Structure 1
């Protein structure tokens, strides 16, 4: 097994954890690699703010070989980005610039028309806005996703026609449900939140996140646009990505078409961040610290309590074939419950496609982040749910 250890603050036993579970975790990752379900795995786990498990197993490249994945290897974190954007919204609430019950139309006039005028910031954060969920096109015949509509608009856009308005183009897809009727996971809604951040701060949402959250927390390996330095230690998932990373490292920028350049106007707040396990554990421990990491304050205690307390009750979840009559969810954070999980009922989390996971358990003061890059387009729940139980089983 290719294994690379990472920096730790203490031994597992020092924070009341059974060190033998590390071998169980590695064996589980190896089994998933042998089954060709994941390429490799990396993780960082802390208790009471101290990292006691940190490492990586498997190869750096999709081709295999002897070059190992490292704990410092960077990955795209996909929808874990939403957890960080949620904190950005929370900061603006603290500063009096937003309220969760504000209608989106207060900031973006495209939402002032029925039925969109009933959508507020709270419903976007809790995925109850009624906007079509991700991947709806695969479930609804002839459905045109918000992204498809934006893409076609960009292809025909002429500056002579007036100011760019990708939001109106997208909203031509309408709603799938009434506001608050169902939980439906919607990344487009978080792009709209990014546009709200831009509107009220006067800077791009990505810049706001970097200046107000990432830099203060010392998350130096977390960014929306890869630098050559971070690209040089990024996981290699495909030939196409390998070439893109090489171009970034060498300072080459392929010429984009006018339509492709227009996509830069869409906030990357739905899933555009890249990071490492150790960087994300700093964010996780900030939330467990009730808004503080060391002497750095990002949020106040009451704000963290509000956002990480269950917000939805008796809200059904039929998204992607689910049949859950009572979806447990916080404000921007998942609070999934059920017989499958060993973590405390107070726990909150976020996952990212392809895949990665970040879970915070305030009862046990345990935080865990792991990346398990899938080898195909299927969803392998044993790389997420089973890993959760292996990690939590070590608590003594």
Structure 2
């Protein structure tokens, strides 16, 4: 049976990605609940947030590289099941730092087998002319799913408790599995199997353009997942500094986080469209620079009127992913077609090292600079991540520019 039309396929795979992200933000959305209940320091909060991405980093080299050797659909469906099971495990068995870390690690493994393998399954089935926009919409769906996860976790925990939030979030991956199984028709892996070993990444490392975008993706992810891990805690802290009845303080922090995340979709798609016309390097430089500036303002601006804080967080939600689709599309375009799965494995592995370290680094700086009740400490934490982000344009301009005398792909 043939695949559905490209448009219908894109809609179905993006919808599955959104559903599969239901448990993504259950912990960071509920940090104000977990921190006192489990007596966690800021560093320990950062650890549980970061260990999710450690699971991703450990699993992604194997799971994504396998998509060059078998249909990515098989890996995707199996991993979506892992995502649902690990959410249920957290709901019933997590009771502190280490048990919570184990189940969040397994959730990260599930993400490793769904995010990039899902993108590979999609791009293998799309015509070349539709791939750039397909990447933009798919990566934006990741942000939508993560944003709705904040909303879901906050509302369910407020109505019931955090265990119910995790338990009910498992419904999303179950529905995603059924939808993807229907939309993605089985097919052999695209192209000939690569001559390299499964984990022989040397051809990818030799591709300077791929590595430039991959290193930029690493620092992008450090910033993005720092924000997603800490935004609710930051907003709660900002609310504690406001006078009684201040405008906006009646809005639950998880709702603000949800809206900020949803603004990422137009930010990502618009950034990619502008990059198609003006070129990726200048757009990435502008997007990352603006995002870094706003991060510093937010960090030191917790005591600003809460309506202003909300507006800044929403603007940040738009800017923080304005570079995302542009970076990933750059990698897909620069990859050797025969090594696309392996290239995406390296891209994801190195990129999500940033996802793992960003939340942990933020928590460590927050503790060292004075703790979660210090405005200066929040400012320093945001500033460190902003400084890290500015390495991204440096990688693109020193490694990722086309050079007429040499090929960007390994020969």
Q: Same fold (TM over 0.5)?
A: no
TM-score normalized by structure 2? 0.24
TM-score under structure 1 normalisation?
0.25
For CA contacts below 8 A with separation 6 or more, give which structure has more relative contact order.
2
Which of the pair is proportionally richer in strand? 1
